[in-house]
């Protein structure tokens, strides 16, 4: 049985209460986590402040980069161990879990290299003045992580904050905390100074709320639901602390009749079913131009029928959902679609050897869905896609922009001018032309508009959010 503790000030610390760790592929309890409370968050914030005022704060940018690079190498070397842990904890097929571990290593490589390339500017000003800007770390950053991509989100959030010189307090999701703790172990062994990274596992309403509202925290990044994001922003607002919110979406892929359908086909489906659809940037709406609607739907259906669902260790196309609660939530949407008479075009199949206690659900493709139907509006966060026909470019834009979200959009066309026009017209933080996701590159700034949140993570852009700018105007005559 796995028995985990909290990681505070470089020490493994016990907590009074414990939370179960479930394997979503089997429904079995495989261990327990420490349930951190407000007092543990206090201790972690204090440890981060000490590190910031101490060894970590004194490290040069190049030294920070060097230790992050060392952690990156260690993550890469231990990618199989991390993948197996994540596969058990989240239920994601092993191949997808391994890709997450390698993405974390790549974030460490990227931000290690960026650490000593982040700098201010000089500004031409009045005669007799020299004016320049300094990019200073905030101090203590708080990171509230969801369960769907723990390693990738630690990579894009925590690693960027560390590279910029902050000390971090991380609250992983109660459903999936194991790789965050493994990451702390690796970072510790690689020589990250004590207190630069602290991990407090526990419930959102307890440890998470305590972190979001802590007066000693100077920046919060949160990935998760829009409802909790609003709570985080309100809590941070009471301390006048900046936040980065990444809150998911209802991202469309718009397919025009002139598109390369052979190329588009795998992207259209994979973007909906990867990680069992539990992906903030999942493409849950497929907008298909009328002349190719029927033909493309047939091809999508054939792909759906070939999808196999099973235990993470069997490494099929789709694993279980994270929990019984999430499965119920997704099932209720599917039932609602059927109840409203929407056509299920095709479903995937649950493998005969899938454990009976696992939270499996066949991927489900709905067709002919009205753009304002709840299935085309709500973030379902499961392996469910809806196909929507459209008749003109204007209509496609109207439908694409017709939700409260705005995270990602895909545009499939061979008409270059149309691709450029639509890239401007769609409301999204990332637009992909004739692809979707661009391989998830860590270099590409990522974030939303509207109820998808605000602020950008990934790429160099994230480093600006993890620093604050100071302007120095010196008069020398």
Q: Which residues form the catalytic set? A: 246, 280
- Measured from the CB atom, is 121 or 205 closer to ligand NAI? 205
Nearest CA-CA partner of 426 in 406, 403, 444: 406
Nearest-approach distance from CB 171 to ligand NAI, in angstroms: 6
In terms of CB distance, is 90 or 209 closer to ligand NAI? 209
Q: How far is the CB of 174 from ligand NAI (least distance, A)?
A: 5
Contact 222, 144 (CB under 8 A): yes
Contacts of 234 (CB under 8 A, 6+ apart): none
- Chain residue whose CB lies nearest ligand NAI: 204
Shortest Cβ 75–ligand NAI spacing (Å) = 21
CB contact at 8 A, 214 and 37: no
Interface positions with ligand NAI (CB under 6 A):
144-148, 171, 173-174, 204-205, 208-209, 212, 223-225, 228, 231-232, 246-248, 280, 329, 379, 381
Nearer to ligand NAI, 154 or 369 (CB): 154
The Cα 156–Cα 134 span in angstroms is 23
d(CA 228, CA 12): 29
- The 3-class secondary structure across 118-138, one letter per residue, is CCCCEECCCCCEEEEEEEEEC
Which residue lies nearer to ligand NAI by CB, 348 or 453?
453
- Nearest residue to 186 (alpha-carbon basis) of 319, 277, 309, 73: 73
Residue closer to ligand NAI by CB (options 108, 153) is 153
Alpha carbon distance 146, 175 (integer Å): 8
Q: 249 or 410: whose CB is closer to ligand NAI?
A: 249
* b/e per residue 390-404 (b: at least 16 CB within 10 A): beebebbbebbbbbe
Q: Give every CB contact of residue 352 below 8 A, 6+ residues apart in sequence.
A: none
Q: How far is the CB of 8 from ligand NAI (least distance, A)?
A: 18
Closest separation in Å from C-beta 229 to ligand NAI: 7
Residue with Cβ nearer ligand NAI (118 or 211): 211
Our CA angle for 279, 281, 286, nearest 5°, is 105
The answer to whether 32 and 4 are in contact (CB under 8 A) is yes
CB 420 within 8 A of CB 267: no
DSSP secondary structure string for all residues of 226-289: HHHHHHHHHHHHHTT--EEEE----EEEEE-TTS-HHHHHHHHHHHHHGGGG--TT-EEEEEEE
Q: What's the order of all strands across the beta sheet hosting 17-23?
A: 2-3, 28-35, 17-23
Shortest Å, Cβ 228 to ligand NAI: 4
Closest approach, Cβ 38 to ligand NAI, in A, equals 12
């Amino acid at each position: 049985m796995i028995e985990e503790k909290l990681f505070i000030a470089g020490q493994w610390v016990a907590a009074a209460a414990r939370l179960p760790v479930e394997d979503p592929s089997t429904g079995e309890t495989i261990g327990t986590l420490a349930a951190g409370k407000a007092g543990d968050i206090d201790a972690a914030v204090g440890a981060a402040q000490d590190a910031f005022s101490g060894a970590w704060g004194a490290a040069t940018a190049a030294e920070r980069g060097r230790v992050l690079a060392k952690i990156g190498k260690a993550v890469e070397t231990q990618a199989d161990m991390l993948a197996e842990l994540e596969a058990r904890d989240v239920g994601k097929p092993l191949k997808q879990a391994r890709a997450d571990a390698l993405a974390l290593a790549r974030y460490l490589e990227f931000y290690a290299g960026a650490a000593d390339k982040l700098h201010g500017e000089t500004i031409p000003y009045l005669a007799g003045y020299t004016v320049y800007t300094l990019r200073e770390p905030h101090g203590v950053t708080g990171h509230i992580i969801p369960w769907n991509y723990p390693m990738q989100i630690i990579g894009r959030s925590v690693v960027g904050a560390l590279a910029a010189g902050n000390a971090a307090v991380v609250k992983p999701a109660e459903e999936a905390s194991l790789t965050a703790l493994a990451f702390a172990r690796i970072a510790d062994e690689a020589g990250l100074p004590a207190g630069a990274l602290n991990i407090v596992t526990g419930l959102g309403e307890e440890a998470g709320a305590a972190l979001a509202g802590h007066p000693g925290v100077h920046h919060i990044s949160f990935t998760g639901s829009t409802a909790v994001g609003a709570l985080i922003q309100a809590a941070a607002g009471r301390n006048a602390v900046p936040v980065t919110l990444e809150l998911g979406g209802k991202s469309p892929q718009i397919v025009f009749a002139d598109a390369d359908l052979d190329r588009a086909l795998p992207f259209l489906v994979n973007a909906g079913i990867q990680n069992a659809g539990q992906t903030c940037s999942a493409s849950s709406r497929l907008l298909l131009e009328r002349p190719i609607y029927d033909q493309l739907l047939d091809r999508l259906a054939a792909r759906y029928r070939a999808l196999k669902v099973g235990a993470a260790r069997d490494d099929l196309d789709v694993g279980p959902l994270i929990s019984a609660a999430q499965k119920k939530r997704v099932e209720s949407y599917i039932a609602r679609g059927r109840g409203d008479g929407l056509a299920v075009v095709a479903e995937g199949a649950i493998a005969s050897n899938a454990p009976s206690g696992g939270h499996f659900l066949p991927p489900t493709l709905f067709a002919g869905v009205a753009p304002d139907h709840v299935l085309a509006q709500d973030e379902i966060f499961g392996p469910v896609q809806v196909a929507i026909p459209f008749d003109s470019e204007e209509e496609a834009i109207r439908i694409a922009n017709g939700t409260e979200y705005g995270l990602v959009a895909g545009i499939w066309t061979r008409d270059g001018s149309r691709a450029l026009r639509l890239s401007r017209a769609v409301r999204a933080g990332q637009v992909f032309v004739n692809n979707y996701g661009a391989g998830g590159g860590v270099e590409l700034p990522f974030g939303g508009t509207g109820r998808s949140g605000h602020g950008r993570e990934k790429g160099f852009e994230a480093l600006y959010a993890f620093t604050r700018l100071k302007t120095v105007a010196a008069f020398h005559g």
